[in-house]
Amino acid sequence: MPVTIVKDDDDFKVRFGAAGPKTTICYFTAAWCGPCKQISPTYDALSNQYLNAVFLKIDVDICEGTCASYGVSSMPTFIVFKDGAQKESIKGADRVGLEALVKKYAEDSTAGSLVAGQSDLKSIFDKKQMECLNGSDDTPLDLFVEGNCNLVSDCDEQLIISFPFHQPVKVHSILIKGVGERSPKRVKVFINLPKTIDFDNAAGLEPTQLIEFDKSATEGQGQIVQTKYVKFQNVQNIQFFIEDNIGGGDVTELVQLAVFGTPLSSVNMSEFKRVAGKAGDAH
C-alpha cells in the first residue's frame, strides 16, 4: 500500500509489528540525501503498484535506534522483510535494482487485473467504516467485499453502498455483476460526500456519474464501466445508489461490485462520519 512515513523508533516498532507476515519494504533515507531524492519517486510508484505490501519510509536522523539495529550506514538503503524476517537489501539509488527487489517478494496488484494497469482497490477500503443501507442481515457487506457471499437487498430493490478509502485514489473503472433479473439497472455514483447518503437525498441529488446496466451485467465476469476519469481524480470515498433492477422486482442481488484505479498518497480517512440511525431508516 502507499508509503507510510515513520515518526520515530517506537512508531517503527508498531508499524513493523502490524505488518505481520506481509512483505515490508523499509526505505532508509535522509532529508539532505541527494540520491534519496532521485529514487523516492520510484519507491512511491512501487507502493501504488504493490498494494499488498507495506512500504515504510524511515528518516535516519529521526530513527537512529532502528538504523543502528539493522546496520544502516549509507543512504538510501532498502531492506525487504517477509514473515517478519529480513530477506535482502540494496544500497544506492538503483531504480532497476529496487524494482527487481520489490517484484521478487511482493505481489503486483495490477497483474491479472480485469482492468489493464489498474488495481482492485478493495485492499484500501476502510472496512471499519464502509456501509450498506437496506442490505439483508444474512449478506453482510464485509463478507461480500471479500467474495464470500452475494449482497441482497432487504425491504425493497434499492441499496446504498459506501466505500471510504484509507487514502485518496484515482478511480478508473467500476465492475458490477448481478444475478439475472435481480441485477442492478440504474446506479448513481457519488464521491467525496461528508457522510453516507440516505435514500431521500440519493433520489434527488445529482450524481457524479449515472450508470445504466443491461443484461450483460448478469453474465460472465459482469460489466465494467469506465468512469468519467477527469471527475474521479481525487476520490476519498465512493458511494453507490442502486435505484432499481433489470427485472423490476423487489429484490436486488449482487455477485460483485469492484472499484479499479490507482492510490494517490497515504492519508488517514478516519474523519469520514457514519450516518446516524440504522440501515434503511431514511428509506
pLDDT value, residue 275 = 39
Run means of pLDDT, 10 residues per run, the chain, 283 residues: 89 92 94 96 89 93 96 96 93 95 85 84 92 96 95 97 94 94 96 95 95 81 90 96 96 96 61 40 44
**Are 211 and 177 in a shared domain?**
yes
Q: Is residue 114 part of a domain?
A: no
b/e map 17-38, b = 16+ CB within 10 Å = eebeeebbbbbbbbeebebbee
For residue 119, give every residue at least 6 positions away whose Cβ sits within 8 Å of its Cβ, in sequence order, or none.
48, 49, 51, 109, 110, 113, 260, 261, 262, 263
**Are 188 and 94 in a shared domain?**
no
pLDDT value, residue 90 = 96
Total number of domains in the chain: 2
pLDDT value, residue 1 = 64
Assign residue 139 the CATH number of its domain: 2.60.120.470
Of 105, 127, 142, the position where a domain reaches its end is 105
**Are 90 and 202 in a shared domain?**
no
Catalytic residue annotation: 33, 36
pLDDT value, residue 177 = 93
Assign residue 61 the CATH number of its domain: 3.40.30.10
**Are 28 and 58 in a shared domain?**
yes
**Are 215 and 246 in a shared domain?**
yes
Where residue 21 falls (left for φ over 0; alpha for ψ -120 to 50; beta otherwise) is alpha
